């Protein structure tokens, strides 16, 4: 709202019935609005340096200060993730109040039907027939993720209209699917795991088995680095030295059945699933060190090949988007079209799970607003 605060008239057009719908449903209704440890390394982009400018000039601490100003109570859940104590609606209300104080007009249930460049700015036509001229046009349309919430590729269409290059889009932070139904019997089973896609870092968080395949924070994180046809590496219980645990139990309880002992370490249904594949049989005392190492290796380097992801239907974000080579990292303005800005998810900058994508929205939006206000 920097442009509005400067005295410039600002109109926000949103085709949704209510403002901030994705904010409202995020974080289980409590909105993971930022992350204490937000850094450029937590973002994916064809240009990993692009996000640095905006993130450094409007930081997580700036947004936290705004939240505190509105006396919104919050807490850290895990790994620096900050959530509202009460409701995500508090964040929506805060942002709407900021818009109101800035003198911005927000028009809901309103779609844009036509945009074209004119001398000194842009001509925009709305679905109700309204015709608007504006010096600056900021596209904050998000990506394709969760179409039932109204998400579309409209922002990419605007980019194409003005010949702004795009990076191919795909679903990110999304569950992975397995067509053979291997994990259907394990649906609902959760366990800590380390997940790594071929091209990305590893993530130590919860793994959840579903009737379609794999989900949970660790899988969602790795999915942004995964490409179709590639494998993922799964290490169960990364915090446990399985070999040493089994050796100790063999010493103390060697006469017990191996699968019974394994069920004290892993979920029982998972042990049942793994028994045929790993050949788990006999008493623990009968298992040599070599055999225990084989079991450990199988559980610490479990290679799986997903058949796909659940796609935009359940994806939390859209990877790719407006090519950052076409934008100024300081202002978010397109280099080829004066007055045209792209911010947030529509840009080829995608954060990890945990409040990073909201912070990118706040930071990139601030950068564009600051740039616009400085030219007025």
What pLDDT, in 10s, does the model give residues 318-354?
Answer: 999 999 999 999 999 999 999 999 999 999 999 999 9
Does the global pTM surpass 0.85? yes
Q: Give the SS3 label for residue 72.
A: coil
Least confident of 30-34, 180-184, 187-191, 308-312: 180-184
Q: How do beta strands 302-304 and 232-236 pair?
A: antiparallel
Neighbours of 201 (CB within 10 A): 11
Give the integer Cα–Cα distance in Å for 89 and 184. Answer: 36
Give the CA radius of gyration of the chain.
Answer: 25
| Domains assigned to the chain | 2-172+315-374 (3.50.50.60), 176-238 (2.40.30.10), 242-303 (1.10.8.260)
What's the rounded Cα separation, in Å, for the pair 373 and 376?
5
The per-residue pLDDT for 8 is 66
Residue 376: pLDDT band (50, 70, 90) is: low
Tokens of 26: 């995020």
**DSSP class of 237:** S
Residue 279 and residue 312: Cα distance in Å, rounded? 38
- Closest by Cα among 137, 131, 56 to 346: 137
| Model pLDDT for residues 234-268, shown as the tens digit of each residue | 999 999 999 999 999 999 999 999 999 999 999 99
Q: Which two tokens stand for residue 87?
A: 């409701």
How far is it, in rounded angstroms, from Cα 134 to Cα 249? 73
């Amino acid at each position: 709202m920097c442009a509005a605060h400067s005295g410039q008239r600002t109109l926000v057009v949103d085709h949704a019935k209510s403002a901030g719908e994705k904010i409202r449903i995020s974080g289980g209704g409590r909105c993971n609005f930022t992350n204490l440890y937000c850094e450029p390394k937590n973002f994916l982009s064809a240009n990993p340096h692009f996000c640095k400018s905006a993130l450094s000039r409007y930081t997580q601490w700036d947004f936290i200060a705004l939240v505190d100003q509105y006396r919104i109570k919050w807490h850290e859940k895990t790994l620096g993730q900050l959530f509202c104590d009460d409701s995500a609606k508090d964040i929506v209300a805060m942002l709407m109040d900021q818009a109101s104080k800035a003198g911005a007009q927000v028009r809901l249930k309103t779609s844009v039907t036509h945009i074209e460049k004119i001398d000194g700015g842009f001509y925009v036509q709305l679905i109700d027939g309204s015709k608007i001229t504006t010096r600056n046009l900021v596209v904050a349309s998000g990506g394709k993720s969760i179409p039932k919430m109204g998400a579309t590729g409209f922002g990419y269409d605007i980019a194409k209209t003005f010949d702004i290059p795009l990076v191919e889009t795909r679903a990110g932070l999304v569950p992975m699917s397995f067509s053979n139904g291997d994990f259907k019997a394990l649906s609902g089973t959760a366990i800590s795991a380390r997940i790594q896609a071929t091209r990305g870092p590893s993530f130590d968080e919860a793994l959840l088995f579903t009737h379609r395949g794999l989900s949970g924070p660790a899988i969602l994180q790795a999915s942004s680095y995964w490409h179709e046809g590639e494998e993922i590496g799964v290490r169960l219980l990364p915090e446990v030295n399985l070999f040493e645990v089994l050796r100790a139990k063999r010493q103390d309880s060697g006469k017990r059945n191996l699968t019974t002992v394994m069920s004290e370490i892993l979920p029982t249904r998972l042990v049942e699933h793994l028994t045929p594949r790993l050949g788990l049989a006999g008493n623990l005392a009968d298992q040599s060190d070599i055999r225990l190492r084989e079991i450990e290796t199988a559980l610490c380097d479990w290679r799986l090949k997903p058949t796909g992801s659940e796609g935009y239907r359940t994806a939390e974000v859209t990877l790719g988007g407006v090519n950052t080579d076409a934008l100024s990292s300081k202002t978010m303005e397109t280099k080829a079209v004066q007055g045209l800005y792209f911010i947030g998810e529509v840009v080829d900058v995608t954060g990890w799970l945990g409040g990073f994508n909201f912070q990118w929205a706040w930071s990139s939006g601030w950068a564009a607003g600051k740039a616009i206000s400085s030219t007025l």
